Amino acid sequence: MLNPIHGRSWAFLIATLALIVCVVLAKLSPAPASGEPVSLQKGKDDGPQKRAEALGVKFEKLKPAYLNWCNRSGKMLYTCGFSSKTKGRLGKDLTTKQGYDAAKECAIDILRAVWDRHGTLDGLRVVKVLGCVHATPDFTEHPQVINGCSDMLHEIFGKTTDGHHARSALGFSSLPFGAAVEIEAIFEIKD
């Protein structure tokens, strides 16, 4: 039998102390509650524009081209296909890791085009990504290549929030100018 201490039992005191310890540990824990990467949680209030800049993406007005870099229709932004500067075929000339890096190159160009059209990355949601991979017929790691783009969009817009997009990753026997990867994307302007 527990002895009362000033009208309370030992069990009550132990439970109270355990609750206090749990609260303190929860406040000290570095793990994010939302499932986002810790780097995104720390910059949570900065918004996508600041997060992209922190990753080294530089924004400047684009020169007009033969076709529209990014077209707006209603609340939707549609980018053209952006080819990587990296050339070659996955499965022959390039590794999956090199393809991943090429897809990141495309992501940066996509972000620049969206910024040029919309003026900021803030207030946007990534809807869809279409990734084209210049590959040999036996190459099967197209999704891992296009993850280079998707991972960057997740880091900037949130993996489980505005960056959580639909995607297709397809293989092609050739791409314009021998590019390793070409990617286009669709964004929604949020209210």
Query: Considering the entire predicted model, what is its pTM?
Result: 0.77
What pLDDT does residue 82 have?
98
Higher pLDDT, 12 or 176: 176
**Average predicted confidence (pLDDT) for the chain:** 86
- Those residues whose C-beta lies under 8 Å from the C-beta of residue 55, and which sit 6 or more positions away, are 152, 155, 156
- Cβ proximity of 59 and 119 under 8 Å: no
CATH superfamily, domain 45-189, is RutC-like (3.30.1330.40)
Domain ranges (residues) in the chain: 45-189
Q: pLDDT tens digits, residue range 125-169? A: 999 999 999 999 999 999 999 999 999 999 999 999 999 999 999
- pLDDT at residue number 46: 87
Q: What is the mean pLDDT of residues 43-69?
A: 90
